[in-house]
Copies of this chain bind each other. A is one copy, B any other.
Amino acid sequence: MRVVVPFGGREPKTRLAPFFDADERRDFAVSMLRDVLDAVRAAGGDPAVVADAPVSVEAPVAVDDRPLTEVVGDELDGFDGDPVAVVMADLALATPAALARLFETDADVVAAPGLGGGTNALVVRHPEFSVDYHGASILDHRRIARDAGCSFAEVDSMRLAVDVDEPSDLVEVLVHGEGRAREWLVDAGVRLERGTGRVEAVRERR
């Protein structure tokens, strides 16, 4: 299956500025992208990166700096009967098993919701479906599928629901990550701090 992986490489992960400077944020973002590409391939997918700036990874990269909805919209406009998947580049917890569940779920449109109303991954098997990544996109995608007469299924996966944007998301990478992104955090001195409430991520040195 063709799997489009959109990657924002120009100013990635600005909400992690309390932890990392701009170069570090880009390094970390690329380590997450590489983990996602590995997981996609291990799940039987054929990844293609669409990035807003050049990035060097072991996959074809097309540079396109338009908004996400337009970039993915163009990919879907080229629909030729073969399914197309879209998997975000910051799903640092994604495993081959979680992506295989996504790829193998049988519906015209299959979505993995992200926390906060997002759509972290999609499989599209119907020419009339289109995307809208603004706001609570999972609600829009449910509606667009219904209006287009597409069957719609959601994959219930924590590993696909967590996209890494904010410091609190680093906890999930430390607890559940299995790849480069977790290693990168550990090497950068990020560790868990266990308090009385929810666990937090802290950085020991910069």
Q: Please report which residues of chain A, range 112-140, place their CB below 8 angstroms from some CB of chain B when the two chains form the complex.
A: 113, 115-118, 134-136, 138-139
The residue that A198 contacts in the complex, of B98, B116, B162, B192, with Cβ under 8 A, is: B116
* CB–CB A199/B135 < 8 A: yes
Within 8 A of B (CB), among A13-31: none
Q: Is A105 in the interface zone, CB < 8 Å from B?
A: no
B175 contacts A138, CB within 8 Å? yes
The answer for the CA separation of A198 and B135 in the assembled complex, in Å, is 7
* Number of A positions contacting B (CB below 8 A): 31
Q: Which of A133-167 contact B (CB under 8 A)?
A: 134-136, 138-139, 156-162, 165
29 A-B contact pairs sorted by A residue (CB < 8 Å): A95-B156, A98-B156, A113-B158, A113-B175, A113-B176, A115-B115, A115-B158, A115-B162, A115-B172, A115-B198, A116-B171, A116-B198, A116-B199, A117-B171, A117-B192, A117-B194, A134-B194, A135-B195, A135-B199, A136-B175, A136-B194, A136-B199, A138-B175, A139-B192, A156-B158, A156-B159, A157-B157, A158-B158, A165-B198
